[in-house]
């Protein structure tokens, strides 16, 4: 894996010089002065992930001294208010932080070479932005992404709205695998033959870095469960047993009409917000299950405690809506985007963690992303106009396709009935063609890629330019 050679470092710092903003000397978490933005630090730790032994070289984020819970903290921001953090890199390799699903300024988007330079070991970068949408989002690196997310760097970011309804309890669940051997240590993050198919699966499946955690919740109460699939590969078919639930938001965006949860497919990068109605009697167990045929598993469970609050799902208040620009479909420009395999298997040089292969392409061009010489944009869009992304999947695999900086609204699919949801990620199935409407209201270069990270890093990446 070509990551950091001296020559590449020099090349990268030449690029870094072109940006410059936001670089400061990094203080330690302990040396925080009043008035400084809160710190967010990435570092390497040992942690228990498989319930058996400590895993070395785990990567995590922290906002304070590491406590008993080693996983990246759930960050909280408020809609319409500035969120500021000084990110400090204590890893031994460069990184950046991307705020997945947030429609914020391009300079804060955290994509090396496209929006900012690397944050080198020991350096820091000040991120500040004002989220326009409330909901469940997340943050993760966009550099050497398979290794860095694979080793732990992925956290939930909740944007609150003062008008958000209050529930009887709230549980945040980050679902992900780790690839560990029997000795609890990391094994190779991917197998090339799997990267060329649906991706390489982890060996230890967790929710909140635990094999199958259980949470207490008030009997008869309404619990908001925020679910993030932060895995690099795995799709979940989620179902609840032992209670009823409503889907209230998908990918951070409140759904126009809440829907009962039957089974929801949630792919890497996506979020699902449920309101679960706990059973009335104490001691009942509600299980959140992944029922994908080859891999059924109880992901997490909830146990009712106390005397019943006697609520019902009919009492669930609507979430405050997010301000989405309305696409003008009568005036939309069509952009064809074909997702395919590529014949070219040559290693692409990327100093941000090349996997050494290209298996995938968008419009026939394989691009691993995060390289100092970005290819041409997939499309140029004019600020304020509506575009229809005609995305066609000619591969036999599903791809959770994700765009930065703007949302799309699903308009039509060739193979299924779809809801006109606004989102940052669309899971396109094999042989599906989908029309995704985008209002180009946020200027900048925005990455568009598959969120199965092996696909992203072996070619299924591109970007659009909004000017
Ligand atoms: Cu989670 Cu490029 O994104
Ligand atoms: Cu993919």
Provide the pLDDT for residue 295: 83
Give the list of residues 6+ apart from residue 293 with CB closer than 8 angstroms, or none. none
205 Cβ closer than 6 Å to some ligand 1 atom: no
Q: What is the C-alpha separation between 146 and 199, in angstroms, rounded?
A: 11
CA 170 remoteness from chain centre: 20
| Cα angle for residues 157, 147, 129 (degrees, 5° grid) | 30
Taking the CA of residue 456 as reference, the ligand 1 atom at the shortest distance is 2
- d(CA 460, ligand 2 centre) in Å: 7
- d(CA 451, ligand 2 centre) in Å: 6
455 Cβ closer than 6 Å to some ligand 1 atom: no
Give the list of residues 6+ apart from residue 111 with CB closer than 8 angstroms, or none. 96, 98, 142, 369, 370, 404, 447
Q: Of the ranges 15-29, 184-198, 289-303, 445-459, which one carries the lowest mean pLDDT score?
A: 15-29
449 Cβ closer than 6 Å to some ligand 1 atom: yes
Q: Write the residue with the smallest CA distance to atom 3 of ligand 1.
A: 100
Q: Write the residue with the smallest CA distance to atom 1 of ligand 1.
A: 100
Q: Which tokens hold the place of 10?
A: 């020099």
Going across the sheet that includes 425-428, the strands are: 379-381, 461-466, 444-450, 399-403, 425-428
User: What is the tens place of the pLDDT at every residue in 351-375?
Assistant: 677 888 889 999 998 888 877 777 8
Q: Tell which phi-psi region holds residue 73, choosing left (phi > 0), alpha (psi between -120 and 50) or beta.
A: beta
453 Cβ closer than 6 Å to some ligand 1 atom: no
Mean model confidence pLDDT for the chain: 91
246 three-class SS: strand
- d(CA 182, ligand 1 centre) in Å: 30
Provide the pLDDT for residue 317: 87
405 Cβ closer than 6 Å to some ligand 1 atom: no
Provide the pLDDT for residue 350: 62
- Of the listed ligands, the closest to the CA of 450 is 2
402 Cβ closer than 6 Å to some ligand 1 atom: yes
Under the banding of pLDDT at 50, 70 and 90, the label for residue 346 is low
Average pLDDT over residues 432-446: 98
- d(CA 430, ligand 2 centre) in Å: 10
- d(CA 410, ligand 2 centre) in Å: 18
Helices (H), 232-302: none
Q: What is the DSSP string of 310-359?
A: ---GGGPPPPPPP-PPPP-GGGPEEEEEEEEE-S--PPPP-TTT--S---
Q: Which tokens hold the place of 164?
A: 């958000």
Provide the pLDDT for residue 351: 63
User: What is the tens place of the pLDDT at every residue in 170-182?
Assistant: 999 999 999 999 9
- Of the listed ligands, the closest to the CA of 455 is 2
- d(CA 298, ligand 2 centre) in Å: 25
DSSP 453: H
Q: What is the C-alpha separation between 32 and 18, in angstroms, rounded?
A: 29
- Of the listed ligands, the closest to the CA of 400 is 2
Q: What is the DSSP string of 384-447?
A: T-EEEEEEEE-SSS-EEEEESSS-EEEEEESSS-----EESEEEEPTT-EEEEEEE--S-EEEE
CA 20 remoteness from chain centre: 27
Q: What is the C-alpha separation between 297 and 466, in angstroms, rounded?
A: 42
| Residue closest to 95 by CA, chosen among 54, 44, 130 | 44
Average pLDDT over residues 83-96: 97
Q: What is the C-alpha separation between 337 and 340, in angstroms, rounded?
A: 10
**The residue to which tokens 């960050």 are assigned:** 75
115 three-class SS: coil
Under the banding of pLDDT at 50, 70 and 90, the label for residue 36 is confident
Provide the pLDDT for residue 352: 74
271 Cβ closer than 6 Å to some ligand 1 atom: no
- Of the listed ligands, the closest to the CA of 101 is 1
Q: Residue 305: beta bridge partners?
A: 218
Give exposure, 179-192, as e/b (b: 16+ Cβ within 10 Å): bbeeebebeebbee
| Residue closest to 335 by CA, chosen among 423, 241, 464, 460 | 464
Element (H, E) at 146: helix 145-150
Q: Which tokens hold the place of 99?
A: 């705020």
Average pLDDT over residues 98-120: 96
Q: What is the pTM of this model?
A: 0.92
Taking the CA of residue 138 as reference, the ligand 1 atom at the shortest distance is 1
């Amino acid at each position: 894996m070509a990551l950091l050679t001296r020559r590449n470092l020099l090349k990268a710092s030449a690029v870094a010089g072109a940006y410059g903003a936001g670089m400061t000397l990094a203080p330690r978490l302990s040396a925080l002065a009043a008035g400084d933005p809160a710190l967010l630090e990435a570092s390497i730790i040992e942690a228990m992930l498989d319930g058996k032994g400590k895993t070395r070289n785990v990567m995590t984020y922290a906002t304070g001294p590491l406590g008993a819970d080693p996983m990246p903290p759930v960050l909280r921001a408020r809609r319409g208010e500035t969120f500021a953090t000084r990110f400090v890199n204590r890893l031994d390799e460069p990184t950046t932080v991307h705020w997945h699903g947030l429609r914020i300024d391009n300079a804060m988007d955290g994509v090396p070479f496209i929006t900012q330079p690397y944050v080198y070991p020991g350096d820091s970068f000040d991120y500040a932005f004002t989220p326009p949408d409330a909901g469940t989002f997340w943050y993760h690196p966009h550099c050497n992404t398979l290794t860095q997310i694979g080793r732990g760097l992925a956290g939930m970011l909740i944007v609150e709205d003062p008008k958000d309804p209050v529930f009887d309890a709230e549980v945040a669940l980050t679902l992900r695998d780790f690839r560990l051997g029997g000795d609890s240590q990391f094994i190779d993050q991917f197998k090339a033959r799997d990267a060329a198919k649906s991706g390489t699966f982890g060996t230890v499946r967790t929710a909140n870095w635990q094999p199958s955690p259980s949470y207490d919740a008030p009997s008869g109460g309404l619990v908001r469960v925020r679910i993030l699939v932060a895995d690099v590969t795995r799709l979940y078919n989620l179902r609840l047993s032992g209670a009823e639930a409503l889907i209230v938001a998908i990918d951070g965006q409140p759904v126009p009409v809440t829907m009962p949860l039957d089974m929801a497919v949630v792919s890497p990068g996506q979020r699902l917000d449920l309101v679960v109605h706990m059973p009335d009697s104490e001691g009942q167990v509600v299980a959140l299950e992944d029922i994908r045929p080859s891999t059924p598993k109880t992901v997490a469970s909830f146990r009712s405690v106390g005397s019943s609050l006697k609520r019902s799902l009919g009492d669930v208040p609507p979430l405050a809506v997010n301000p989405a620009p309305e696409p003008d479909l009568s005036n939309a420009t069509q952009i064809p985007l074909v997702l395919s395999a590529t014949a070219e298997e040559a290693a692409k040089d990327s100093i941000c963690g090349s996997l050494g292969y290209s298996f995938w392409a968008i419009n026939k061009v394989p691009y691993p992303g995060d390289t100092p010489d970005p290819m041409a944009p997939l499309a140029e869009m004019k600020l304020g106009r509506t575009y229809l992304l005609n995305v066609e999947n000619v591969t036999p695999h599903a791809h959770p396709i994700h765009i930065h900086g703007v949302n799309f609204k699903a308009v039509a699919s060739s193979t299924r009935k779809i809801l006109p949801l606004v989102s940052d990620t669309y899971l396109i199935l094999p042989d599906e063609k989908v029309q995704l409407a985008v209002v180009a209201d946020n200027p900048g270069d925005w990455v568009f890629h598959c969120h199965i990270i092996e696909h992203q890093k072996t070619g299924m990446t591109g970007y659009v330019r909004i000017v």
